[in-house]
Amino acid sequence: MSNPSLLILPGDGIGPEVMAEVRKIIDWFGARRGVTFDVSEDLVGGCAYDAHGTPLADATMAKAQEVDAVLLGAVGGPKYDNLDFSLKPERGLLRLRKEMDLYANLRPAQCFDALADFSSLKKDVVAGLDIMIVRELTSGVYFGEPRGIFEEGNERVGINTQRYTESEIDRVARSAFELAMRRNKKLCSMEKANVMESGVLWREVVTEVGKDYPEVELSHMYADAGAMQLTRWPKQFDVIVTDNLFGDLLSDLAAMLTGSLGMLPSASLGAPMENGRPKALYEPVHGSAPDIAGQGKANPIACILSFAMALRYSFDMGDDATRVEQAVEKVLADGLRTADLLGEEGRAPVSTSEMGDAIVAALDASL
Ligand code: ATP
């Protein structure tokens, strides 16, 4: 069988810095676990614009379609602020998502014990939290037509359209049920069926898909009530599935329960390829953080945990994904902190590469 293939797109700002630490983990798997990835690296975002005049070259797009998984760092930076909309670094990322048709965005909100004090919520509310939000990513109100700002009588009207087909709901619901099957078999679907027809259809289709997953306990909640419940007692949830707009809000809300942006991974999955693996793009939730780029201050954990998600969801290496997550847990429990995890504490932070080295050492110790 051929080696698992991975396209690495470090991107801009702190992207290359955090990706260098992921490279150490990949090398560790080759040296210590006998798992060799076929890794290729390319440009996306501002650096691609600098080299090719476009935020994502066609050849890079083609490569992304061929590999088992894409791992991206971050794109953007002030240098590119004045570029035409179509050339902005973020367009490279949007093109990847669109052409790979990545419709299920997985955003875990997991609270490592050592960081429970860091949350804005009480420690007992977040300690041990481990939930997953599945956001529909390619349809809904961000894409529906008609859209625009139009003249109507003597004033303007701004229009966006919430639109979901049955098949769009069906496929993201299936992704969420599959995930629930691998976790605690609990799925909560969130919409606003009380005031939106698209929500009524959403609820109907999710319920119908649920018949194929009788082991999963399915519940429904209005999205506004869901937001309240997420802050009141988030541990009542396992997997949450919701549309693009509500998912945008709820996944950010859930993520911040756990503390720093530097800790948050994500995955965007599409339809299964010929080899049965889903099309997949993994990336940290944070951006290119131009304010700290090039200073060795970035926390590499979000990107490392994104690679762990790739191990679990693209490469069927769930045990190894857990091994990486436990190594992260171990270094945090040992007290290592990058600057973003220190808050007002007087302790000295570790650098990006020191954090990566410590995680590799914890992996060594796990064997
Ligand atoms: P974007 O619009 O691309 O998401 P943004 O400016 O809204 O960008 P980030 O680039 O994620 O968001 O940065 C927000 C803040 O969080 C910045 O102060 C940044 O330094 C900090 N930050 C983001 N990622 C990390 C990280 N991995 N380690 C440390 N600090 C980080």
For residue 345, the model assigns a pLDDT of 67
Q: Buried b / exposed e across 209-245, counting CB within 10 Å, b at 16+?
A: bbeebeebebebbbbeebbebbeeebeebbbbbbbbb
Cα 71 from Cα 88, distance rounded (Å): 20
Query: Mutate which of 14, 80, 286, 337 to test ligand 1's pocket (most atoms within 8 Å of Cβ)?
Result: 286
- Whether residue 12 lies in the annotated active site: no
Are 359 and 27 spatial neighbours (Cβ–Cβ below 8 Å)? no
Binding-site residues, ligand 1, Cβ < 6 A: 14, 76, 261-262, 286-289, 291-292, 298-299, 302, 340
142 belongs to the catalytic site: yes
Question: Among 344, 284, 336, which Cα is nearest to 310's?
Answer: 284
Q: Rounded to 10 degrees, what is the CA torsion of 290, 293, 294, 295?
A: 120
- Catalytic: 248? yes
Nearest CA to ligand 1 atom 29: 298
Q: Give dist(CA 75, CA 3) in Å, integer.
A: 28
* Per-residue CA distances from 350 to 264, 341, 355 (Å): 18, 10, 6
Which pLDDT value is given to residue 4?
93
pTM exceeds 0.75: yes
Q: How far apart are CA 317 and CA 315, in angstroms?
A: 5
Q: Can you name the CATH fold of 1-111+264-367? A: Isopropylmalate Dehydrogenase (3.40.718)
How far is residue 250 from each of residues 100, 224, 306, 356, measured CA to CA in Å?
A: 24, 9, 19, 30
CATH topology of domain 130-257: Isopropylmalate Dehydrogenase (3.40.718)
Query: Are 147 and 199 in contact, with CB atoms under 8 Å apart?
Result: no
pLDDT at position 117, please? 84
CA-wise closest residue to 250 among 274, 231, 275, 263? 231
Where in the chain is CATH 3.40.718.10? 1-111+264-367, 130-257
In the set 248, 279, 313, 320, the catalytic residue is 248
pLDDT tens for the 367 residues of the chain, in order: 689 999 999 999 999 999 999 999 999 999 999 999 999 999 999 999 999 999 999 999 999 999 999 999 999 999 999 999 899 999 999 999 999 999 999 999 999 988 888 888 888 999 989 999 999 999 999 999 999 999 999 999 999 999 999 999 999 999 999 999 999 999 999 999 999 999 999 999 999 999 999 999 999 999 999 999 999 999 999 999 999 999 999 998 988 887 778 999 999 999 999 888 999 999 999 999 999 999 999 999 999 999 999 999 999 999 999 999 999 999 999 999 999 998 776 789 999 999 999 999 999 999 9
* Residue closest by Cα to atom 14 of ligand 1: 289
Distance CA 325, CA 108 (A): 13
174 is written with which tokens? Answer: 């299936």
Looking at residue 274, what is its pLDDT?
87
Q: Residues 24, 224, 235, 357: which is the catalytic one?
A: 224
Q: Would you state the pLDDT for residue 255?
A: 84
Confidence (pLDDT) at 258: 79
Testing ligand 1's pocket by substitution, the residue of 79, 94, 251, 292 carrying the most ligand atoms inside 8 A of its CB is: 292
C-alpha 338 – ligand 1 centre gap (Å): 14
Q: How far is it, in rounded angstroms, from Cα 357 to Cα 294?
A: 18
Q: What is the pLDDT of residue 303?
A: 98
Mapped onto helix, strand or coil, the DSSP state of residue 298 is coil
| Minimum CA distance residue for ligand 1 atom 2 | 287
83 phi and psi, to 5 degrees? -70, 155
